[in-house]
Amino acid sequence: MMQTPLNYTDDNIRTLEGVQHVRMRPGMYIGRLGNGNNPGDGIYVLLKEIIDNSVDEFAMGFGKQIQVDIADNTVSVRDFGRGIPLDSVVKAVSILNTGGKFDDKAFKKSVGLNGVGTKAVNALSESFYVCSYRDGESSWARFERGELKDSGKEASPKEKNGTLVTFYPDPMMFGKFEYNMDYVETMVKNYSYLKKGLTLVLNGTPYKSENGLLDLVNENLSEEPLYPPIHLVGEDIEVVLSHCNAYGENISSFVNGQNTRDGGTHLAAYREAIAKTFKEFFKKNYAPEDCRQGIVGAISIQIQEPNFEGQTKTKLGSNYMWEKQTHDEKGALKLDVGPTIRTYVNSFVAQELDNYLRINKEIVPIIEEKIKSSQQEREEISGIQKKTRERNKKTNVYNKKLRDCLYHYGDKVTEKNQEDIERSSIFLTEGDSASGTISDARNTNYQAVFSLRGKPINSFKESRKKVAENEELNLLVSALGIEDDLENLRYNNIIVATDADDDGMHIRMLILTFFMKYYPDLIRRGHVYILQTPLFRVRNKQENRYCYSPEEKEQAVAELKGKVEITRFKGLGEISPEEFADFIGANMRVDSVNIADEESISDIMEFYMGDNTIERQTFIRQNLRSEAELEDINI
């Protein structure tokens, strides 16, 4: 039977005003919501948006200190800049596309130029208070979930000029959230490194940098550098670089003080410039990946009118150092642009790094030896991997192990597929049962499945050659698309999905060890996660509850009145595809795998995957949860 279509009338046409739109579509403004477990979660974006405004004041020459206090998840940020113009306080924090940064008269090289940031914080906070102090007067306003509740003006002769913002993120949006102070401290430190002369005080502890990015790199070095880090400073650009005996590249990038953890045009230009300069200096055609293997460093640039990909500003999309619309002699609109970021960065690095190497000749043979060593190993390993891939193609192993999705992280973004590309994921599973369950339950638009056979090799204990010969890991690298460059990564999220038993935990550790040793940037850039699946199903005749811990199970048993049945899931294959679809859908629970900048990867791997030491035995005993705690309870 043909269904009658729903009526489409004037009543269906809606206009979402300001805060309504932010609250209905928060992802457009702050990216992910989250609960604070991940440094990219929305509550940190809210904090960053407020601090950005205070940093912009300092960058314009006003206010040398910013005070940040967080207690009971309530945030207060006080700067000593010019303060918001008193008659504009309410609209400056509540009306979208309202602000003082739409031209370069008041803010020349600002992070936030679209008049959205503070309004999003206001809209997504249960309570929001702002007070501007200017020349002995103040103007304040108090909001709840973006709606103005009260405002006023008064004399404040004892207060220095500046702005105070206090907010509490809305639990209706973020659920049960909590600020991780380690993440906040890292954010505050980064601001201090990038703004020499600025002091940020976090809960009473001051942070100030005298040497800019050099301090950042030196304080975050987890491995001993082969030579003292090179520090080059120019107009609107600052770079640091060195090499260490590790795999991958560890280059932090910033634009106008904003940590662009996903890189962008400036980082791509810097990576290109490093390789190009070394090749020209040594007059040898070294491969770019050999020039950058084991490199540690940072780049910060200042540009006008930055264009970021996404509201969270984690990836720079601008191609020019500055661009603005002007009019020609006849009044016609035209676009006036400066040099490209690629040209600017390449020219600076080529000249300054070349000069540095000619003056500091003692580090030249160290750098070339590192490049040659990387080249020799890469060529040897590349040959082994190529043979393995060709053998697997002939036997069609690859197609049997990877069940791909339609959209990939590196695909061209269109309005239609943007969201799917961002959430494109690959589940790493072990065994046919688990991979079959996830394959049947997944969304084929953006979720892929890769099936491992047995336990991967221990990458920490074995040689690089032995690891390269391992078929399973070779195929995994091919599936991810990272044989030649991490920039070719095909999935935004790499999700390790193993059983909740001893074997599953061991396989998880082996996979993570492989990534940490040879592809640590996958973890640093926030691409690697661990899937959390329910340990129990508690049900009665009316309701099913899925529980991820013994504590959740006990709560479910207490709340579901009467006789209940409890099932303990030990393997992913025990869960039906119909059930599993809920666990990898919109409410999927994952733990982000993180490495702090200052943590030594080799020390971490030595502790968890090295010889069985007394220290590790003690750690296991202290953190072990007995199987008895997880057994079924029949009621």
Tell me: the pLDDT tens digits for 447-481?
Answer: 999 998 878 888 887 888 888 888 888 888 888 98
Q: What would the pLDDT profile of 283-326 be if each residue is shown by its tens digit?
A: 999 999 999 999 999 999 988 878 777 545 678 888 888 777 67
Higher local confidence (pLDDT), 561 or 62: 62
The model's confidence at residue 626, banded by pLDDT at 50, 70 and 90, is low
- pLDDT tens column, 360-391: 999 999 999 999 999 998 888 887 777 766 76
Helices and strands: H and E segment counts in the chain: 23, 24
More confident call, 231 vs 635: 231
Among 393-397, 464-468, 515-519, the minimum mean pLDDT is found in: 393-397
Least confident of 77-91, 153-167, 592-606: 592-606
**CB-based burial label for 116 (10 Å; 0-12, 13-18, 19+):** buried
Structural domains for the chain:
18-207 (3.30.565.10), 213-371 (3.30.230.10)
pLDDT digits over 263-277, tens only?
A: 889 999 999 999 999
Sign of CA dihedral 521, 524, 526, 531: positive
Higher pLDDT, 431 or 623: 431
The helix/strand/coil state of 552 is helix
Does residue 115 have a pLDDT over 50? no
Q: CA-CA-CA-CA torsion for 424, 426, 427, 431, nearest 10 degrees?
A: 150
**Res 80: pLDDT:** 94
In this prediction, residue 94 has a pLDDT band, given cuts at 50, 70 and 90, of confident
- Which range among 35-44, 412-421, 546-555 has the greatest average pLDDT? 546-555
- Report the alpha-carbon distance of residue 494 to residue 528 in Å, rounded: 5
pLDDT at residue number 278: 96
Cβ-count burial 526-559 (b if 16+ within 10 Å, e if not): bbbbbbebbbbbbbbeeeebbbeeeebbeebbee
563-577: average pLDDT: 83
Provide the pLDDT for residue 576.
84
Which amino acid type is present at position 364? V
Instruction: Check residue 64 and report its DSSP letter.
Output: S
Q: Is a pLDDT exceeding 70 seen at residue 174?
A: yes
Which has more pLDDT, 205 or 597?
Answer: 205
* Mean pLDDT of the region 551-577: 85
Residue 374 tokens, joined: 């990387």
Contacts 24+ apart (CB under 8 A), 536-545: 536/566, 536/567, 536/568, 536/569, 537/566, 537/567, 537/569, 537/579, 538/564, 538/565, 538/566, 539/564, 539/565, 539/567, 540/564, 540/565
pLDDT higher than threshold 90 for residue 208: yes
Which pLDDT score is estimated for 342? 93
Percentage of the chain beyond pLDDT 70 is 87
Q: What is the pLDDT of residue 541?
A: 85
| pLDDT more than 90, % of the chain | 34
Q: How confident is the model at residue 112 (pLDDT cuts 50, 70, 90)?
A: very low
Residue 265 near residue 311 (C-beta atoms within 8 A): no
Q: Which amino acid is present at 568?
A: R
Mean predicted confidence (pLDDT) in 507-520? 89
Amino acid 611: pLDDT: 72
User: pLDDT at position 368, please?
Assistant: 95
pLDDT at 598: 63
Tell me the pLDDT of the chain averaged across its residues.
83
Q: Among candidates 121, 124, 103, 111, which has minimal Cα distance to 23?
A: 124
